[in-house]
Amino acid sequence: MTEGQKSGDEAVREQVRAAVEAIEGALRGIVNFLTPLKPTLRNELIQLLGKHVDQARTAKESLERLLADLER
């Protein structure tokens, strides 16, 4: 592997790490936003956001697996 490939691979790993952290931060922000709301409003928002939150979690898990593969 050449030096250019190594630095390119590291750049990809850093981008994947940044994406994982961004998704994690967004999910944490949603939870922090929903927590103090009244239960009825919170439940309505969870119903609206549920599919998107699940997609974000799935994407995060996929990126984490990709990152683990890249680090091998």
Query: pLDDT (tens digit, 9 = 90+) per residue, 26-65?
Result: 999 999 999 999 999 999 999 999 999 999 999 999 999 9
Alpha-carbon span 44 to 11, nearest angstrom:
40
Domain total for the chain? 1
Domain span holding position 49: 3-70
pLDDT at residue 71, rounded to an integer? 87
Higher pLDDT, 45 or 2: 45
Give me the pLDDT at residue 8, please. Answer: 84
Q: Is the pLDDT of residue 4 over 70?
A: no
Q: Give Cα separations from 49 to 18, 21, 46, 58, 65 (angstroms).
A: 23, 20, 5, 14, 24
Q: How many residues does the chain have?
A: 72
